[in-house]
Amino acid sequence: MFEPQTYALLMLAGFFILLMIGVPVATTLAVTGFVFGYLGFGDGLFALLPARFYGVVAGYQWMSIPLFVFMGVMLEKSRLADDLLDVMGHIAGGVRGGMGVGIILFGVLMGATTGIVGATVITLGLLTLPTLIKRGYDKSIAAGAICASGTLGQIIPPSLILILLSDIMQLSVGTLFAAAVGPGMLLAAVYIIYLLVRGWMNPALMPPIPQEERDAVSRGELWKRFWKVVVPPILLVVAVLGSIVGGIAAPTEAASMGAVGAVLIAAGARRLTLKMLKAVALETSKITAMMMLILMTAQVFALAFRGLHGEDLISDLFELLPGGVNSDIWFMMALIFVLGFFIEWIEISYIAVPLFMPVLLSQGVDPVWLAMLITVNLQSSFLTPPFGWALFYLKGVAPPEVTIKDIYKGVVPFIAMQAITLALVFFYPQIALWLPKAIGW
């Protein structure tokens, strides 16, 4: 028999080994939790689990997940994103790097309405990447902008990351939504500044749309399409997020309003069909079931790890670090960044965050600020090779002349910009905290 903390270390090692050989995340969490939990403290684990499972499935806050997912999938399936991208391209395309800026702005709006990385990256990859290359855009810059734009949905509310972190860290969803506005807009602004500067320094990398092509669409027609295509999603975002941040509605109530609003927008565009509604319901069910299964199996892992005194190991580790609380925070950020090379944000959220959070909170770290640092950092998990999902999504729809090397090369500057944004939020916490304080959260 080993000491409990030895089992905790073996449990972590087993978890990463199973992930590396390709075992699904939910299965990995359950197997390592059950096996090492039973070895460490017997069948007492099974007596504690029913209450934990019930706490997950009965949690009122989780009702917002399928509703927000439904809202996003409905807007994606209705193909409104295609029209939205076309309008933004014409508005911004006259500037050097303007099409790239349009892609980032599209990612902001898609992030606030769908929050689904795959949907945004695939839409942009199919609709814009061939056109950008044809117009002379550098392949790497175009691919990097598309991948980075797609990941904005992971920090701009209503982000699923924020909903999960609200449960893990026992914080209000509305508070996290309000706090994420500043870092999310800052990250988008950093991307836009980079593209404009690159376009100004080297116009050949990102030439503007030719004048004759822009003149083909009259200003009146462009404004008409703007009001028809761009304004309804913006109003939906303002209604949903404004009701949450303003304290008018709970996240679940606002999510239901968003789901109904997405249906009305699709119906208003005459794209709502029974076939599409069935497809939206099926996709929503798949995404929600996957997330809930991981949530439940994470309870097994967390319960076993705590029972094996794993939290004491983490506390001892932090005590060995020099430099105080700032060193502890950056150690956690570095670990999350490295984990992002190999595993997804859901696993990182439910494994790394619960391990380190108690130690940092005990040192007086603001939990809302810490949540924003984690959220900005988790963005990189979608871009970092070899398992960045945004890279895979784009490669799946990219033209043959765009290689995986082009995509990897293109995302490197955007990963660096995420690191810059992370540093700015670290050194200037008010970027994240001003809005929650201003509205009294």
Mean pLDDT of the chain: 80
Q: Would you state the pLDDT for residue 328?
A: 84
Which of 34 and 107 is assigned the larger pLDDT? 34
303, pLDDT greater than 70: yes
Q: Would you state the pLDDT for residue 373?
A: 93
Summarised one tens digit per residue, pLDDT across range 360-376 is: 888 888 999 999 999 99
Summarised one tens digit per residue, pLDDT across range 307-353 is: 777 666 666 666 676 767 888 888 888 888 887 776 667 777 877 78
Spans of all domains in the chain: 4-438
d(CA 150, CA 191): 12
Question: Could you tell me which of 427, 426, 417, 423 has the C-alpha nearest to residue 145?
Answer: 417
d(CA 307, CA 286): 32
Q: Which amino acid is at 13?
A: A
Q: How confident is the model at residue 426 (pLDDT cuts 50, 70, 90)?
A: very high
HSE (side-chain half, CA atoms, 13 Å) at 294: 16
Q: Would you state the pLDDT for residue 318?
A: 64
Residue 61 φ/ψ, nearest 5 degrees = -65, -25
268, pLDDT greater than 90: no
Summarised one tens digit per residue, pLDDT across range 87-103 is: 766 676 667 777 788 88
Q: Would you state the pLDDT for residue 374?
A: 92
Contact by Cβ (8 Å): 381, 348 = yes
Contact by Cβ (8 Å): 350, 395 = no
Least confident of 52-61, 135-144, 228-237: 52-61
53-62, 96-105, 117-126, 384-393 — most confident range = 96-105
Helix, strand, or coil here: 26? helix
404, pLDDT greater than 90: no
Q: Provide mean pLDDT across the span 63-83.
A: 75
Summarised one tens digit per residue, pLDDT across range 141-190 is: 888 998 898 888 888 887 778 888 888 888 888 889 889 999 999 999 99
Q: How confident is the model at residue 416 (pLDDT cuts 50, 70, 90)?
A: very high
Q: Would you state the pLDDT for residue 115?
A: 62
15-24, 225-234, 322-331 — most confident range = 322-331
Per-residue CA distances from 189 to 145, 149, 192, 193, 291 (Å): 13, 11, 5, 6, 31
Enter the tokens of residue 70. 């439904």
Contact by Cβ (8 Å): 107, 414 = no
Q: Provide mean pLDDT across the span 69-82.
A: 74
Angle, vertex CA 239, rays to CA 236 and CA 245, nearest 5: 130
226, pLDDT greater than 70: yes
Q: Would you state the pLDDT for residue 252?
A: 79
297, pLDDT greater than 70: yes
233, pLDDT greater than 80: no
Q: Provide mean pLDDT across the span 214-222.
A: 67
411, pLDDT greater than 80: yes
d(CA 303, CA 285): 27
Q: Is 68 exposed, middle or buried (0-12, 13-18, 19+ CB in 10 A)?
A: buried
Angle, vertex CA 369, rays to CA 367 and CA 373, nearest 5: 110
Element (H or E) spanning 87, and its range? helix 80-92
210, pLDDT greater than 70: no
Least confident of 127-136, 327-336, 353-362: 127-136
